[in-house]
């Protein structure tokens, strides 16, 4: 998952909190499932640094990386994107 703008905060430890809806698993549990399934967070370094966030707060499956690592990750295969 490539995080930009305010979404970069989701890569900082302790930020993902709450429950999305009644009957839904807590957000920290969903983040844990994503991590355990091999999910990675690629965090825009420009957006991250602009918010004066500390790199040592990144969760274990997050790393700073911009468009070049993003395109390397996508590769030559078709990719589906989702933005909101």
HSE, CB side, 13 Å, CA atoms: give it for residue 40.
10
**Domain edges within the chain:** 2-74
The per-residue pLDDT string of the chain (84 residues; one tens digit each, 9 = 90 and over) reads 999 999 999 999 999 999 989 999 999 999 999 999 999 999 999 999 999 999 999 999 999 999 899 889 888 888 877 766
Task: Please state, in angstroms and rounded to a whole number, the distance separating the CA atoms of residues 59 and 20.
Answer: 20
Paired tokens of 51? 């918010």
Please state whether beta strands 2-3 and 41-43 pair in parallel, antiparallel, or not at all (unpaired).
parallel
pTM recorded for the entire structure:
0.85
What is residue 14's predicted lDDT score, i.e. its pLDDT? 93
What is residue 46's predicted lDDT score, i.e. its pLDDT? 96
Q: Three-state SS for 26?
A: strand
What is residue 80's predicted lDDT score, i.e. its pLDDT? 78
Task: Please state, in angstroms and rounded to a whole number, the distance separating the CA atoms of residues 12 and 59.
Answer: 6
End-to-end CA, the chain: 13
């Amino acid at each position: 998952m490539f995080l930009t703008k305010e979404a970069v905060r989701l890569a900082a430890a302790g930020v993902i909190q709450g429950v999305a809806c009644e009957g839904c698993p807590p957000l920290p549990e969903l983040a844990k499932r994503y991590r355990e399934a091999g999910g990675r967070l690629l965090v825009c370094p420009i957006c991250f640094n602009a918010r004066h966030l500390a790199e040592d707060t990144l969760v274990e499956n997050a790393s700073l990386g911009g468009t070049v690592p993003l395109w390397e990750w996508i590769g030559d295969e078709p990719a589906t994107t989702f933005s909101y």
